[in-house]
Structure 1
């Protein structure tokens, strides 16, 4: 027996080479796995800010476009409301104007109707007056009536009547001008006033007053120099002078001027005698 046989050896038994390689491989694989996981986490953490940074501009642009479109739509709506309000206001104004015009036309028509009724009433009254005057004339003697009728129908005048007729005939052919009293032009009442002023008789200026300036006479019993009027006494719209022989001279209108006409051309409503 060896002297050292009883001493226990402290050396660890050797492991097989295969087992040592497996351990080393496992440790290396664990380290690599840890590094891979850490790298993946780091990559994920690094990519997140990049994604957020890339998405923000796209989001802001879309929001800006939406806000702009909303503003345009709001402005267009306001314009539409304003235009509609203006159209409605114009329609209301047109309706009011049409109503006002209709009312004015109705008032004018009513005034014309009343004026026509008044003229007809005045003409009827003047006709009755003429008839009464005619009946009174017929009650005179036959000889006096015949001589008076002969004198009134004669176109030959003497004295003041002749001067009146001569002046009027000298004015025939001159112009009719509203408001004129001669000597180159006249209106109807201006001519009558000028003619009577030649024989010293002053007459009112307008036809309405001239139609009541003397004694009312029947148109069937006229004398040279009688003033003829058209319309009713006191509101006549035209006057002329009777010159005998069934004729008169007057300033008719701007188209014809001063003319001599037969009574049948435009029968007068009445007559007044001033001399």
Structure 2
């Protein structure tokens, strides 16, 4: 018998392999947990740097840039169109203002021309009457050496000329009105009460008996019935020039005399027909 046969063995008994593996697994898990906890401890973690790739937007950006460029171009076109419209409006306003000024200038020129023509016509009328008076004066002078009977006849005619007419009714009223204005001033376009032109006086005289005559001598020369100068009656309208184109009118007051607003030199006068022989006459009364 061996001398060690009765000495107990100090070996640990063998463990089952599965138990051993289980224990090893548990130990490994514990160690892993400790290791992770240690890693999460006070020690500072290294910063993580990561590069992020952005998605490519080249196609979308190109579309946006193109749309923006188109919008900008449209705004520029709109501004240019507005500028053109404003310029056109300014040009039109300037043209209209110029046209208005030109129209005013032409109107003033026309008015001045008409005034000059009227003054010229009045001057011609006065010159014509002056010539007629000169002719009559020369004719009268050629008869100064006539017989005493002629002188007596002239004196008688003069005396009858200065006497009032024997008119009655409306004719007498017209004549009275006209004779009452003798001595008043002659003013072109005058209609009274203290200054007259020829047709203004005639119109006012007939208006005093409620007869309305046209304002101008041309129309007054055709306002009634044409009568012969050899068949005149008090109250007839005398005219100088043609019927419908007369340049002067007066009122026959009888006894071979008339009253008329002659010109600015004489004013309203009563004169014999020989002073300024008329061209014709019309009868209204």
**TM-score class normalised by the smaller sequence:** 0.3 to 0.5
Answer 1 or 2: which has greater helix percent.
1
Between Structure 1 and Structure 2, whose CA radius of gyration is higher? 2
Normalising by structure 2, what TM-score?
A: 0.42
Normalising by the residue count of structure 1, what TM-score does the alignment of the two structures yield?
A: 0.44
